[in-house]
Amino acid sequence: MNCTGNTATTDLISSTFTVDSNNNLQCTTWDITSSSNACPNCSTATQTLVTGVSSMTVLYGVSPASDSATQYMTTANVTANNMWGRIMSVRVTLNFINPLYALNKTGGQPATLQFIKVIGLMEHL
């Protein structure tokens, strides 16, 4: 499935999500196997999914010894601790710019609002 939700019939698709300098959450779809796109590093056009995103954080729920996540780690920590085979879930946090923050002169509004989603990996559901 690509960034717009369209499915590919025979190609292997990889999507990369980033936040650009204009606070846009963007998605780039990489066609890895298409015969019409022989270059594995060639990408399609990047698409903006939503505006007003100040940052995105991805943490991995890992389980050192059981079948449920007991802690969340960054990519660097997962690599350093050789835990790639023990990932049970992925926690994605999007920080949105709060439009009411600049309008509220008396305070009380946070500068950002968080949206957190924990995604269980298929083999562990």
**pLDDT digit string, tens, across residues 16-47:** 899 999 999 999 887 766 555 455 556 576 89
Please, is 4 exposed, middle or buried when counting C-beta atoms within 10 Å of its C-beta (0-12, 13-18, 19+)? exposed
Task: Give kind and range of the element (H or E) at residue 76.
Answer: helix 75-80
| C-alpha–C-alpha distance, residues 76 and 19, integer Å | 19
Same domain, 75 and 107: yes
Same domain, 46 and 24: yes
C-alpha distance from residue 12 to each of 18, 34, 48, 108 (Å): 20, 7, 22, 47
Would you place residue 116 in the very low, low, confident or very high pLDDT band (cuts 50, 70, 90)? very high
pLDDT score, position 36: 54
Same domain, 56 and 17: no
Domain assignment of residue 37, given as a range = 1-51
* pLDDT for 107 beyond 90: no
Same domain, 64 and 112: yes
pLDDT score, position 56: 97
Same domain, 56 and 45: no
The number of domains in the chain is: 2
Average pLDDT, the chain: 84
Same domain, 56 and 81: yes
Same domain, 56 and 44: no
